[in-house]
Chain A
Amino acid sequence: MSDITLTSTEIGAAGQLSLSPEEHKREQRRYLLRRTATAYLFLVPAAVFFIAFLVIPIGFLFFYTFHNGGIISPRVYVGLDNWRNVFRDDLVITSIKNTLVYCLMAIPSVFVISMFLALVLQQATRGGSVFRSVFYLPTLTPYVVAALIWQFVVHRDFGILNMTLVKLGRDPVNWIGDPDMALKSITMLEVWRGVGFWTLLFLAALIGLPKELYQAAAIDGANAWQRFRHLTIPLLRPTIFFAVVMATIWNLQLFDSVSIMTNGGPQNSTATVVWYIQQTTFAYTDKVGFGAALSFTLLMLILVLALIEIRLLRKR
Chain B
Amino acid sequence: MVETHFPELDATVPPPPRRGILSTASLYKLAIYIILIVAAFIAMVPFGYVVSTSLKSTMSLFAYPPDWLPDEPTLDNYRNLIDRYPFWRWLMNSAIVAGSVTLIKLVVDSMAGYAFAKMRFPGKEPLFLLVLISLMVPFAALLIPTFIIVRELGLLNTYWGLILPGLASPIGIFMMRQFIESLPSDLENAARLDGCSEFQIYRRVILPLIKPGLVVLGVFTFMTQWTSYLWPLVAATKPQMATLTVGARSLTSDFTQDWGLNSAAAVLSMLPMILVFIFLQRYFIAGSIAGALKE
Contact = CB atoms under 8 A, between A and B. Distances in A.
Given A122-B13, A137-B43, A295-B141, A132 B229 contact: no
B16 interface: yes
Interface of B (DSSP majority class): helix
Contacts of A4: 185-186, 189
Contacts of A148: 50, 248, 262-263, 266
Given A134-B44, A140-B273, A144-B229, A129 B281 contact: yes
A214 B138 CA distance: 39
Contacts of B185: 1-2, 4-5
Contact of A196 (B43, B173, B266): B43
B144 interface: yes
Contact of A57 (B142, B170, B184): B142
Contacts of B21: none
Nearest to A280: B144
A152 to B, nearest CB: 5
Interface stretch (B28-36, B76-84, B207-215): B28-36
A64 B144 contact: yes
Interface residues of B, number: 111
B120 A42 contact: no
Given A142-B229, A211-B13, A42 B114 contact: yes
A141 B46 CA distance: 11
A14 interface: no
Interface in A97-129: 117, 120-129
A145 B269 contact: yes
Interface string B1-23: 00000101111111011000000
A38 to B, nearest CB: 5
Q: How would you classify the secondary structure of chain A's contact residues: helix, strand, loop or mixed? A: helix
Contacts of B189: 4-5, 7-8
Contact of B122 (A5, A36, A245, A288): A36
Contacts of B192: 8
Given A57-B142, A253-B140, A124 B33 contact: yes
B293 A298 contact: no
Q: Which of B144, B164, B244, B282 has the most CB of A within 10 A?
A: B144
A124 B274 contact: no
Nearest to A150: B46
B101 to A, nearest CB: 10
A148 B140 CA distance: 22
Interface string A128-171: 11011111111011111100111011000110100100000000
A167 B194 CA distance: 75
B179 interface: no
A64 B119 contact: no
Interface residues of A, number: 111
A264 to B, nearest CB: 14
A297 to B, nearest CB: 9
Interface in B158-208: 164-165, 167-170, 173, 181, 184-186, 189, 192-193, 198, 202
A252 B139 CA distance: 11
B87 to A, nearest CB: 14
B66 A158 contact: yes
B167 A49 contact: yes
B47 A133 contact: no
Contacts of A1: 118, 181, 184-185
Interface string B26-69: 00110011011001101111110110010000000000111000
A133 B281 contact: yes
A70 B148 contact: yes
Interface string B271-293: 00110011001101110110011
A35 B149 CA distance: 34
Contacts of B114: 42
Given A142-B270, A145-B270, A52 B111 contact: no
A140 B144 contact: no
B135 A134 contact: no
A242 B288 CA distance: 12
Contact of A207 (B8, B145, B170): B8
Question: Which of the listed residues B32, B145, B285 has the most CB atoms from chain A within 10 Å of its own CB?
Answer: B145
A211 B11 CA distance: 12
Given A56-B149, A137-B44, A295 B120 contact: no
A61 interface: yes
Nearest to B277: A140
A302 interface: yes
B40 A135 contact: yes
A43 B248 CA distance: 38
Nearest to A126: B10
Contacts of A246: 135
B112 A239 contact: no
Contacts of A252: 138
B295 interface: yes
> Which 9 pairs, one residue from A and one from B, show the smallest C-beta to C-beta distance?
A53-B168, A204-B289, A60-B145, A46-B112, A39-B121, A57-B145, A42-B115, A142-B227, A295-B141
Given A131-B39, A145-B266, 12 more contacts: A42-B111, A120-B35, A125-B11, A141-B270, A152-B50, A160-B45, A200-B285, A211-B14, A214-B13, A255-B230, A298-B141, A302-B141
10 contacts: A35-B121, A50-B131, A123-B29, A127-B36, A129-B9, A133-B278, A148-B266, A149-B49, A296-B141, A298-B141
